Chains A and B, each alone.
Chain A
Amino acid sequence: MLEVHNVSRSFAERLVLDDVNFTVPRGALTGFVGANGAGKTTTMRIIMGLLQASSGAVSLDGKPLESGTRPHFGYMPEERGLYPKQPIIDQLVYLGQLHSLSRSDARRRAMELLARFGLDDRAKSKLESLSLGNQQRVQVAAALLHEPAVLILDEPFSGLDPLAVDAMSSILRDYASRGVPVLFSSHQLDLLDVLVDHLVIIQDGRILANASAETLRSSQATRHKLSLGADAGWLREEPGVEVIDISGSRALVNFQTESDSQRVLREALSLGTVTEFAIHRPALADIYREIIK
């Protein structure tokens, strides 16, 4: 488990991270969300040892990480980072060597990964000659070369087409299921629902949520949604019902008690048809919007 303890950082008097605490568990995909400038990239750079925290620490399985390099981590920076004018295989081998692989191991491993991404026939092409999605795949390959013990990915899905998103998701899932802590940031909230097991929400340098997706969903799962045959406006007058939203025949409400919900259901059935009456399980995107309000 990767843990971030009480990390603060300021740039020229401006506090960018304020006592940040969260965990990246093993065996799960952890999503890291927040608005632009919330502190995601700074946090990731501190985890990677590229920036120093003004105070606080990062630990892996309880052991604090020294300041400096993290050769056993896999990292994908936000603005990508490879040599555009050099053949793909050359730079992958170079990065592999810097990660202490022998030249031949690095080459073998790079070819395996390229084959997995369907890029083995492009190994000798210059990076810049590839499509954006394929460049992204190479970037991931670079992060995975040395079988990293931890994966830190800054916006791995940005700029990917739907198929590439699926491929990237399956790779991340694969690593998470092997017990590698995986932390990735994303702006694409809809992706979070299908992908993440654990969610960390940051705003203005402060952590607003750090919990499993299940916990977050159930904490908000007190609402019911109703679809009726006719206008649902009468719900506003019902006792024990807090209306959150009504539009035409559809409504989103909070019931004070279980018996309130059953009473209202009977009432609705007596007034006409009921096409839907269900507990509303919020999307993580909605939870995020709710939390950052």
Chain B
Amino acid sequence: MNAATAPWLIVALREVETKLKDKAFVLSTLGTLALIIGAVAVNGFLGGKSADYSVAAADPLSYQVLTEAQDQRPENMNLAISQLNPEQARAQLASQDIDAMLSSSADQRTMTLTGFDEVDAPLERVVSAAMRTVLTDQLLSARGLDASALPTADDLHTAQLQGDSERGSMIRAMAFIFSFLFYMAALIFGMPIANSVIEEKQNRVVEILASTVSLRQLLAGKIIGNVILAMVQLLLFLGVGLLAAYLAPGEIPFLGVVSTVAGWFVVFFLGGFLLLAGIWAALGALATRTEDLQQSSGPVIGALVAVMFIGIYAKGGFLVLASYIPIVSSVAMPIRMLSGNVALWEPLLSLAVLLAACWAVLLFSERIYRRAVMHTGGALTLRKALKLEL
């Protein structure tokens, strides 16, 4: 770092440094990351727990059934098959080298699947289905019929009159995640802006700072520092979550669209957070003590809770409307985009509205901050603060 570092950058870096030295913050971030990885892993595990079976056939018919079973096995099952004579098979089963052995009765009409001390239900289902297929085919071909001409379950096609329930549940899950992430970040990184403004006002540090750097630079540094922290944490959460989803065993549907929309969410998040940062800074400047903030922050926290619930529950026209209102749009527009039928101009327009609002709020906050932060005495109202002279 050289002597020419811009003041706002020094302030911003200090905000970041102070936060990174805060053990509670670091631990909660790491904890959340562990939770995300855990949740994705559990999801993948439940959805795609794979089982490995090794089964030996004690005669040719059994081997045929096992071959069929290999074709029919579900994706999450690995089936290794071998053909042995009954004594060998029994011996290997006894030493648990294999999980089960399959043998057919003398009349070749029934079969026995023998396990060491149990036979897993999934294996039993697969083998039973394969046996039915093989025996049916044999019966049919004995009567001169080709089994592949028979109707199968695959001949049934499905369609939905409205939407796609699987996509619907993905949207609900992501709506919850976006809304919650936004709410958390707005509090975890927004409130400290207000608190740090109050701290400097209360201890009069701001007088020393303001005689050295302009208040505008000071405010910008504070906001930028917390924006950096919030964005890095968000990217970390989203990145790790998506990476874990990619790496998880079993397939997680809609990963592509989720990744794209997550990118949009980051942009909308940035705009929404900047706007809130301006509001937090102004609230901090109006207060005299930390206790004042508890009162004045009530409406903001209320609005944030409302944003979270709108994000989670809003539907249809209401959601469309919400996706153009700044702050709410930060979660509502990405949620709409998950459905895949939002034209490109919509997020762009919503973003333009958001940035315009952001600009106006930041300018207004700076006016409040410059006037109120040097004021000593009781907490100020907005009206009083605007009347203060510089």
Contacts and interface: CB of A to CB of B under 8 A. Distances in A.
Interface of A: 11-12, 45, 48-52, 68-71, 73, 75-84, 86, 94-95, 97-103, 105, 142-143
A73 B109 CA distance: 102
Interface in B1-19: 1-5, 7, 10-11, 14, 18
B19 to A, nearest CB: 13
A71 B213 contact: yes
Interface string B194-237: 00000110011111111111100000000000000000000000
A69 B14 CA distance: 20
Contacts of A73: 211
Given A81-B207, A83-B205, A94-B10, A50 B212 contact: no
A36 to B, nearest CB: 14
B208 A69 contact: no
B204 A98 contact: no
A71 B207 contact: no
B208 A75 contact: yes
A82 B205 contact: yes
B72 to A, nearest CB: 67
Given A68-B214, A69-B213, A69-B214, A95 B390 contact: no
A50 B205 contact: no
A77 B212 contact: no
A83 B199 CA distance: 8
A205 B386 CA distance: 26
The 3 tightest CB contacts between A and B, nearest first, are A81-B204, A77-B207, A81-B205
B389 interface: yes
Contact of A102 (B3, B11, B205, B390): B3
Nearest to A48: B211
Contacts of B210: 50, 69
Given A81-B206, A98-B213, A51 B3 contact: no
Interface of B: 1-5, 7, 10-11, 14, 18, 199-200, 203-214, 374, 376, 389-390
A83 to B, nearest CB: 6
29 contacts: A12-B389, A48-B207, A48-B211, A50-B207, A50-B210, A69-B214, A70-B211, A73-B211, A81-B203, A81-B204, A81-B205, A81-B206, A81-B208, A82-B203, A83-B199, A83-B200, A83-B203, A83-B205, A86-B18, A94-B10, A97-B5, A97-B10, A98-B10, A98-B212, A98-B213, A100-B4, A101-B3, A105-B3, A142-B208
A182 to B, nearest CB: 16
Nearest to B374: A50
A99 B205 contact: no
B207 A100 contact: no
Contacts of B200: 83
Contacts of B205: 81-83
Contacts of B213: 69, 71, 98
A69 B211 contact: yes
B13 to A, nearest CB: 9
A204 B219 CA distance: 35
Nearest to A152: B211
A77 B204 contact: yes
A25 B2 CA distance: 34
Contact of B1 (A49, A83, A102, A142): A102
Contacts of A142: 208
A54 to B, nearest CB: 9
Contacts of A99: 212
Given A94-B10, A94-B14, A98-B7, A75 B1 contact: no
B333 to A, nearest CB: 39
A103 B1 CA distance: 7
A50 B10 contact: no
B384 to A, nearest CB: 11
Contacts of B209: 95, 98
Contacts of B214: 68-69
Given A49-B211, A69-B210, A84 B1 contact: no
Contacts of B14: 94
Given A82-B205, A101-B3, 13 more contacts: A12-B389, A48-B211, A76-B208, A77-B208, A80-B204, A81-B203, A94-B10, A94-B14, A95-B212, A98-B7, A102-B1, A102-B3, A103-B1
A78 B376 CA distance: 12
A101 B209 CA distance: 14
A79 B376 CA distance: 10
B389 A11 contact: yes
A289 B261 CA distance: 75
Contacts of A101: 3
Contacts of B1: 97, 102-103
Contacts of A76: 208
Nearest to A82: B205
Contacts of B389: 11-12, 52
Contacts of B7: 98
Contacts of A51: 374, 390
Among B205, B206, B212, the most chain A Cβ lie within 10 Å of the Cβ of B212
Nearest to B201: A81
A97 B4 CA distance: 10
